[in-house]
Amino acid sequence: MKISHTKDRARQEFEGFVSESGADLLRTAYLVVWDLPSAEDLVQECLFQVAKRWPRVRVMDHPTAYARRILFNLALDDSRHRSRRQAELDGRDQAALESRTDLGAARQMRLVESSSELTDAVAALPPRQRAALVLRYFEDLSEAETADLLGCSVGTVKSTTSRALARLRQKLDPVVGEPVLITSHATEPKGVQDHV
């Protein structure tokens, strides 16, 4: 009886962990692979790996960080074997992701997709650069935490992030052009009202 009760409690704890962290893992996976079916597969494999080690994982201080590390390792390993499909960029996957009940993740995705140029530019980055940007700027991790998750040094995180941002700037510069200042009293860029 006691063994059955312990297994039931462990199962309930794992199901609670999945409920709490599943949507965040899916959002992170999607931002790394830019393909919803692939992101779902990664999350499923990640949770399978966590479930196999659940007795050890459940007593960790940060089980979600452990799961995220597994997710990134799977994503980076899989990226070596996966070819990028056009469906990653056509928008169908973003609509499917937004239809999920996680409003926070949907809001984040709307922010990301508000600029198709940015979305295309991020999708074109190599997987490791994309992973570094996702961890630093979407997951808001420190350089040390990002280095730990990616299994590299802090210096590598800095240089990878720097190269990724430089690539984005280079790709977006012709689109973005000069910064536009918006005044609080008008919707026109600063200086435009003077000429109207």
Same-domain check for residues 92 and 124: no
Give the pTM: 0.58
Q: How far apart are CA 190 and CA 186, in angstroms?
A: 9
| pLDDT on residue 181 | 42
**Which residue, 163, 102, 171, is CA-closest to 133?**
163
Say which residue, 74 or 182, is predicted with more confidence.
74
Residue 3 and residue 81 in one domain: yes
Please indicate, yes or no, whether residues 11 and 98 belong to a single structural domain of this protein: yes
Q: Say whether both 105 and 74 belong to one domain.
A: yes
Task: State residue 164's pLDDT score.
Answer: 92
| Residue where a domain terminates, one of 114, 140, 167 | 114
Residue 154 has pLDDT above 60, yes or no: yes
Q: Do residues 107 and 135 both lie within one domain?
A: no
Range of the domain at 23: 1-114
Looking at the structure, tell me whether residues 74 and 84 fall in a common domain.
yes
Helix and strand counts by DSSP (H, E) for the chain: 10, 0
Distance CA 147, CA 113 (A): 27
Instruction: Tell whether 76 and 61 lie within a shared domain.
Output: yes
For the chain, give the secondary structure using H, E and C: CHHHHHHHHHHHHHHHHHHHHHHHHHHHHHHHHCCHHHHHHHHHHHHHHHHHCHHHHCCCCCHHHHHHHHHHHHHHHHHCCCCCCHHHCCCHHHHHHHCCCCHHHHHHHHHHHCCHHHHHHHHCCCHHHHHHHHHHHHCCCCHHHHHHHHCCCHHHHHHHHHHHHHHHHHHHHHHHCCCCCECCCCCCECCCHHHC
CA 190 vs CA 89, 173, 182, 187: distances in Å: 34, 20, 6, 9
127 & 104 share domain: no
Does 87 share its domain with 133? no
* Total domains, the chain: 2
103 in the same domain as 7: yes
The CATH number covering residue 120 comes to: 1.10.10.10
Query: 104 and 52 in one domain?
Result: yes
Residue 153 pLDDT grade (very low, low, confident, very high; cuts 50, 70, 90): very high
Residue-wise pLDDT for 62-117, tens only, equals 999 899 999 988 888 776 555 444 444 445 555 554 555 556 555 555 555 555 67
DSSP 189: B
pLDDT at site 106? 58
Last residue in a domain, options 64, 88, 114: 114
Same domain, 58 and 15: yes
Measured CA to CA, the distance from residue 13 to residue 39 in angstroms comes to 24
